[in-house]
């Protein structure tokens, strides 16, 4: 259900103020606090900034998270500036030499390394940036101020027992450009030397997204067990394991939430089984998806071949999520009863309606054949679950329509 502050604003905005993204930061704070409270105290909660990097969102989360996962040089700069002083973990494939140098200069606290080549690049950059190094132009601050660089190797771990059965998007557990195969992790170990700048702190994995709480806990257990065995086998003394994000949300049931209580209980058990190993997670979507709405209005309502189409102001160039995930974006109709035109108001009643945007492509569909009681030209529509992977993954410039407004409600 739409929250009262969002609905009030959605109805107060003029047509020309629409479409608009409206974020309920007070609801986000409350939710993040509840998530934190459901997790075991020793577990570190990082927010994957890629889900929604808007500064007010990053800042609202700050009291409730340990740090932020960033996945590009752009995110490193952006998140560092938005929430200064908060720990960053720099992941993602294809980090460039320049990005690594800059991240070192900014004192990024953790590097999630995706390949042997990347590890070598990082070692080289860190070596050059050491105060005593030659040829370095920027000085590495290092997490500890010692010039040492904390590394987690990202592993692409095969998952047995169909653990990824319910995953919406599997990133690992099969051939993948992400992370290192287990044997490749072992091959990287000799690159950590006492004299070198890199320190292997632990293992990172992000193997799937869209998993429910029991599947997430099972996957985390597999990663933590593997990490401990690796550590014992090689006498590495690893102290950290980051089991990734990917906590599932249900776009078909916007009022349902990821079961953080069950997840927290499972992770507490896991922590007991692994004393000395700090567990870390980095969810994105499940933290912020519920705090955002994309509000717009029905410009036209027409029938074609017996089917009803509502043409909305805006479209998938603002809210690409339903196009990428091939789902119906959940929505609520906010009726506007005023109609001052001299002709009959176009309407659909007690029938399925397809909600489309203003783009000249049949792919510009936000929701397909969804039954409505009534939807009329001039009514407003609030799309829910638009707080993550929504505006920031959309192709804004296509067709040069105006950009939406952005409203961050915080009361």
> Any idea which residues carry the catalytic annotation?
360
Q: Do the Cβ atoms of 69 and 51 come closer than 8 Å?
A: no
Judged by CB under 6 A, the stretch of 115-123, 263-271, 280-288, 396-404 that binds ligand PLP is 280-288
Helix 73-82 vs helix 97-105: crossing angle, to nearest 10: 20
Q: Which of 73, 91, 197, 266 binds ligand PLP (CB under 6 A)?
A: 91
Nearer to ligand PLP, 171 or 188 (CB): 171
Check residue 254 for interaction with ligand PLP (CB under 6 A). Answer: no
Q: What angle do CA 158, 206, 202 make, to 5 degrees?
A: 90
The answer for residues whose C-beta is within 8 angstroms of residue 54's C-beta and 6 or more apart is: 23, 392, 406, 408
Are 194 and 159 in contact by the 8 Å Cβ rule? The answer is: no
Among 113, 247, 355, 385, binds ligand PLP (CB under 6 A): 247
In the bound state with ligand PLP, the residue whose beta carbon lies nearer, of 136 and 387, is: 387
Contact by Cβ (8 Å): 44, 281: yes
What are residue 307's DSSP bridge partners? Answer: 304
Q: How far is the CB of 226 from ligand PLP (least distance, A)?
A: 17
Taking CB under 6 A as the binding criterion, the range among 34-42, 241-249, 259-267, 301-309 that sits at the site for ligand PLP is 241-249
Shortest approach of ligand PLP to residue 212 CB, angstroms? 13
State which of residues 64, 95, 110, 206 lies at the interface with ligand PLP (CB under 6 A): 206
Contacts of 98 (CB under 8 A, 6+ apart): 73
Give CA–CA dist 375/334, Å, rounded: 9
Question: Is 320 a residue that touches ligand PLP (CB under 6 A)?
Answer: no
The least distance separating ligand PLP from the CB of residue 18, rounded to whole angstroms, comes to 27
**Min CB(155)–ligand PLP separation in Å:** 12
Q: How far is the CB of 195 from ligand PLP (least distance, A)?
A: 30
Distance from chain centroid for Cα 295: 21
- Report if residue 101 touches ligand PLP, rule: CB under 6 A: no
CB 285 within 8 A of CB 258: no
- Omega of the bond leading into 355 within 30 degrees of 0 (cis): no
How far apart CA 180 and CA 172 sit, in angstroms, is 10
User: Which residues in the 285-304 window bind ligand PLP by CB under 6 A?
Assistant: 285-286
| Binding status of residue 75 toward ligand PLP by CB under 6 A | no
Task: Please identify which residue in 7, 109, 240, 282 interacts with ligand PLP, judged by CB under 6 A.
Answer: 282
Work out which of 147, 173, 202, 245 binds ligand PLP, going by CB under 6 A. 245
DSSP string, 250-291: -TT-TT----HHHHHHHHHHHHHHSTT-EEEE--SHHHHGGG
DSSP-derived 3-state class of residue 31 = helix
Interaction mask 39-58, ligand PLP, x per CB under 6 A:
---------x--x-------
Residue 375 tokens read as 């939807």
* Interface of this chain with ligand PLP, residues 108 to 147, rule: CB under 6 A: none
Interaction of residue 2 with ligand PLP, rule CB under 6 A: no
Alpha carbon distance 289, 284 (integer Å): 8
Q: Is 76 among the residues that bind ligand PLP (CB under 6 A)?
A: no
Contact segment (CB under 6 A) with ligand PLP among 239-247, 272-280, 303-311, 379-387 equals 239-247
Verify binding: residue 346, ligand PLP, rule CB under 6 A: no
Catalog residues that contact ligand PLP under the rule CB under 6 A: 48, 51, 69, 91, 206, 209, 244-247, 282-286
């Amino acid at each position: 259900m739409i929250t009262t502050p969002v609905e009030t604003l959605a109805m107060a905005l003029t047509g020309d103020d629409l479409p608009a993204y409206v974020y309920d930061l007070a609801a986000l704070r409350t939710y993040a606090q509840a998530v934190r409270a459901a997790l075991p105290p020793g577990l570190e909660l990082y927010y994957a900034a890629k889900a929604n990097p808007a500064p007010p969102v990053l800042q609202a989360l700050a009291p409730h998270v340990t740090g932020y996962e960033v996945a590009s040089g752009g995110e490193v700069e952006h998140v560092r500036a938005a929430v200064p002083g908060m720990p960053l973990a720099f992941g993602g494939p294809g980090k460039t030499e320049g990005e690594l140098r800059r991240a070192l200069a900014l004192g990024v606290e953790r590097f999630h390394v995706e390949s042997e080549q990347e590890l070598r690049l990082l070692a080289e950059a860190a070596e050059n940036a050491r105060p005593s190094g030659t040829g370095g132009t920027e000085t590495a601050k290092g997490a500890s101020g010692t010039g040492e660089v904390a590394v987690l190797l990202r592993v692409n771990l095969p998952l047995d027992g169909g653990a990824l059965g319910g995953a919406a998007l599997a990133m690992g557990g099969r051939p993948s450009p992400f992370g290192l195969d287990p044997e490749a992790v072992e091959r990287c170990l000799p690159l950590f030397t006492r004299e070198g700048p890199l320190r292997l702190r632990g293992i990172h994995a992000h193997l799937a997204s869209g998993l429910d709480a029991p599947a997430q806990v099972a996957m985390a257990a597999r990663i933590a067990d593997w990490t401990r065995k690796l550590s014992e086998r090689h006498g590495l003394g690893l102290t950290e394991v980051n089991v990734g994000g990917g906590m599932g949300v249900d776009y078909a049931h916007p009022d349902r939430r990821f079961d953080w209580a069950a997840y927290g209980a499972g992770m507490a058990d896991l922590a007991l089984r692994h004393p000395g190993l700090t567990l870390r997670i980095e969810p994105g979507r499940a933290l912020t998806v519920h705090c955002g709405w994309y509000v717009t209005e029905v410009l036209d309502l027409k029938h074609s071949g017996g089917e009803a189409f509502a043409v909305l102001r805006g479209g998938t160039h603002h809210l690409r999520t339903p196009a990428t995930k091939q789902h119906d974006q959940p929505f609520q109709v906010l009726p506007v009863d005023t109609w001052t035109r001299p002709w009959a108001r176009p309407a659909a009643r007690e029938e399925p309606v397809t909600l489309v945007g203003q783009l000249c492509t049949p792919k510009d569909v936000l929701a397909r054949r969804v039954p409505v009681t009534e939807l009329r030209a001039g009514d407003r529509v609030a799309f829910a679950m638009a707080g993550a992977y929504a505006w920031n993954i959309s192709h804004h410039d296509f067709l040069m329509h105006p950009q939406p407004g952005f409203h961050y409600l915080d009361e």
